[in-house]
Amino acid sequence: MKKKNNHTIHLLIMALVNTFSFAATIPEPPPPLKRAVPPGLPIDEHLLVFIILTILLSFYFFRKSIKKAPKV
């Protein structure tokens, strides 16, 4: 009887060691990503506004450079 108990205890210890060693090898989840844009605003709207502002500013500076150009 004592041999059977020792064998059972030995198997229990082996099972616990294997469980803990398996749990130690599981990788941690990756850290949450830091987004440049808040989650409520889609990036497409920002891109559209950026393109429109770029076009408007380029027209503004283009007209300014035409006014400064010497007339021939």
Q: Which residues of the chain have pLDDT under 70?
A: 1-5, 18-26, 35-45, 68-72
Q: How far is CA 40 from CA 8, 32, 34, 36, 45, in A?
A: 57, 17, 14, 12, 11
> What's residue 2's pLDDT?
59
> What's residue 35's pLDDT?
64
Taking the C-alpha atoms of residue 44 and residue 65, their distance in angstroms, rounded to an integer, is 32
> What's residue 40's pLDDT?
66
Write out the residue range of the structural domain in which residue 15 sits.
2-29+37-68
Q: Domain tally for the chain?
A: 1
3-class SS of residue 64: helix
Q: With residue 51 as reference, give the H or E element that holds it.
A: helix 43-68
